[in-house]
Structure 1
Amino acid sequence: MSEPRSSLVIDSPEDLWRSSTRRSFLRLLGVGGTIALAPTLFAACSGDDNNPVQPNGGGAQLDLSTDIGIFNYAYALEQLEAAFYSTVVGAANFATLFTDTNERELLTDIRNHEVVHREFLKAALGSSAIPALALNTTTVAALTADRATILKNAQSFEDLGVAAYNGAGKQLKDARNLLVAGKIVSVEARHAAAIRDARDTTGRAFAGDDVVIGGLDVKMEPAAVLARVTALNLVTTPISVAKQQTDAATADQPAPVAS
């Protein structure tokens, strides 16, 4: 019998979204394997000259004027989403809160996607990655208290993620990086639609006026997104912006706060 693979090479953005790749990705995470990205997949994220500045106190500063900084910003958000869904799916009462098999499968699939996003960005950034973020466990418990609360907060997280990628994408300087970001945000948008469907009692939530206005999806600048995250009191690791994006900010189409 051949030995199980201990490494995985991802050659293209399309590889990342194949179910077989995701399964291999998650398996390797569980056994301490290594994940390698082809040099042409993720540009401008291999040197040490653009390491994020780590302020005193163990926080992280983001340089939003570089592609590395933009993807560290995305990495921070993916850490939060992965932690949220991992808490939900890993809870002892998961099957009690979600008696519908389809809902459990949906949340488990989204958890797997978010973990892949997080670990993909971490691997791509290498030594330039910001540290793992520490979370407020009291806030996490409140956000995952029951089915209705979980789905409401899942919708808010997904809408915020879509708005964040849409707002930061214009700052990316390398077309290859923009392609990767576009692949990720398309998955986040599917998550947002699926969560809306799970909460929907009217049949109108998929393209509701709160998220699709004038045929355009939500979009928020990084400062507005980070302010929303700060207001949640979810992260105990200080996150600050050392350098703003080079392009002028444009008007936000804010992600709605789910009700």
Structure 2
Amino acid sequence: MNKHTKTKINSGKEEGEIASVFNRRLFLRSAGLATSLGTIVIAAACNDDDDDPMIPGTGDAVDLGSGDIGVLNYAYALEQLEAAFYIQVVQTPYSGMTDAEKAILTDIRDHEIVHREFFKAALGDKAIKGLTPNFAAIDFTKRDAVLGAAKLFEDTGVAAYNGAGKLIKDANYLLLAGKIVSVEARHAAVIRDLISPKTASFAGDDIIDANGMDKAVAPADILSAVKGYVKDTITGANVGK
């Protein structure tokens, strides 16, 4: 693996600073979850020597769990993958990346870090470990490769949240998922527009059905689709049960 494909899910000081600028207590309160999930505390900074639980694991088997905890861990796993991807994209910009493109991709990175840290803190000691990404198949030096991967991750993320919605039993968690999937859909739209500007691709018929609805895909199918991008073996057989 070359320098363009190496990444850690936690990239250190800059990432910690991004996470720390958001008021997590306000986020929880706005979603009606402050009491049930408690106060979120994010370290403002760390370095490579820190004993940080977000340092990638070793490619072990990971069981997401059952019930709503399983659904939240499922979302947490996907947010880890997306955050790691965009961290790498911003750290090693592809050839010819414009200032406008970098600004968009940096904003998406920041959102994904916040989503990841939110789920980590909400789950507490029930959270799965930090996963080990596998981006060896992505050439981070090439625009088409990066945006193509971004399109895959964003479309998959939207379909994953939609598919998991019916499995969530707690109405507060469902509200939270709805708030996050709407942001993921915005990401998906802008990535598609970067690939094919000034076209209708942002809501193409490959993702929107005849009724104007987005796809909803079951966790088992999503995990199968993304397994090539994660070294860990993720088991989600009991998600939502």
Asked if residue 222 in structure 1 is aligned to residue 222 in structure 2, the reply is: no
Shift of 1:134: 1.1
Asked if residue 195 in structure 1 is aligned to residue 191 in structure 2, the reply is: yes
Asked if residue 153 in structure 1 is aligned to residue 149 in structure 2, the reply is: yes
Asked if residue 120 in structure 1 is aligned to residue 118 in structure 2, the reply is: yes
Which residues in structure 2 correspond to 1:158-173 (within 5 Å)?
158-173=154-169
> 2:176: which partner in 1?
180
Cα deviations across residues 122-165 of structure 1 (Å, max 9, x unaligned)? Answer: 010010000000122523xx252411111111011000000000
Where does structure 1 lack aligned partners over 5 or more consecutive residues? 17-24, 33-56, 247-259
* Residues 7/190 of structure 1: CA separation in 2 closer, same or farther (3 Å cut): closer
Q: Determine the C-alpha separation between the residues in 2 that align with 1:110 and 1:6.
A: 15
Cα deviations across residues 143-188 of structure 1 (Å, max 9, x unaligned)? Answer: 5241111111101100000000000011111111011111110000
> 1:62: which partner in 2?
64
Q: What is the identity, as a one-letter code, of the residue corresponding to 1:103? A: E
Aligned equivalent of 1:237, options 207, 215, 232: 232
Aligned equivalent of 1:209, options 200, 205, 211: 205
RMSD: 2.6
> 2:133: which partner in 1?
135
Shift of 1:97: 3.4
TM-score (norm 2): 0.75
Q: Determine the C-alpha separation between the residues in 2 that align with 1:6 and 1:216.
A: 35
TM-score (norm 1): 0.70
Q: Determine the C-alpha separation between the residues in 1 that align with 2:60 and 2:207.
A: 36
Shift of 1:88: 0.5
Identity rate, percent: 47
Which residues in structure 2 correspond to 1:99-114 (within 5 Å)?
100-114=98-112
Q: Which has the higher contact order (CA 8 A, sep 6+)?
A: 2
* Residues 9/189 of structure 1: CA separation in 2 closer, same or farther (3 Å cut): closer
**Bigger radius of gyration, 1 or 2?**
1
Q: What is the identity, as a one-letter code, of the residue corresponding to 1:219? A: A
Shift of 1:189: 0.2
The size of the alignment, in residue pairs, is 201
